[in-house]
């Protein structure tokens, strides 16, 4: 899963919350300091085990975006693009 930062902001933190079929605990994966034009890449592991995930990004302690829950794509590859005005576009990658 990739989060691509097309905004003009450096994201201090990009978090991915992952819910799995095999684990009742939602796990948080974090990448720090995602600069403009950079991509934060998250390895979700076995696609068949991923139930849902959600991404959020922070500048300082302020959350600047949150995707809500996303079901994994059939190809197990998803890109989330953060635009310059901090809106989110999601697409499955084949």
Which string of DSSP letters, residue by residue, matches 19-38? EETTEEEEEEEEEEEE-TT-
Question: What pLDDT, on the 0 to 100 scale, is given for residue 90?
Answer: 59
Q: Residue 4's closest CA among 46, 45, 47, 55?
A: 55
On the question of pLDDT at 59 being above 90, the answer is yes
Q: Taking the model in full, what pTM does it have?
A: 0.83
pLDDT classification of 72: cutoffs 50, 70, 90 = confident
Residue 87 or residue 31, greater confidence: 31
CB 71 within 8 A of CB 88: no
Number of residues that make up the chain: 94
Q: Is 47 helix (H, G, I), strand (E, B) or coil?
A: helix
Please state, for a pLDDT cut of 70, what percent of the chain lies above it: 90
For residue 79, the model assigns a pLDDT of 84
Q: Taking residues 1-22, report their average pLDDT.
A: 93
Identify how many contiguous H helices and E strands the chain contains and give both numbers: 0, 8
> Rounded distance, CA 89 to CA 94, Å?
16
Predicted pLDDT at 86: 65
Confidence tier at 94 by pLDDT (50, 70, 90): very low
Is there a contact between 90 and 79 (Cβ–Cβ < 8 Å)? yes
């Amino acid at each position: 899963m990739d989060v691509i930062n097309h905004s003009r902001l450096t994201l201090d933190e990009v978090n991915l919350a992952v819910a799995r079929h095999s684990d009742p605990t939602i796990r948080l994966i974090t990448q720090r300091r995602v600069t403009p034009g950079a991509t934060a890449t998250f390895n979700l592991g076995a696609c068949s085990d991923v139930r849902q995930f959600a991404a959020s990004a922070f500048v300082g302690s302020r959350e600047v975006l949150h995707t809500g829950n996303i079901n994994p794509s059939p190809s197990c590859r998803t890109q989330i693009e953060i635009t310059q005005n901090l809106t989110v576009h999601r697409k499955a990658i084949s």
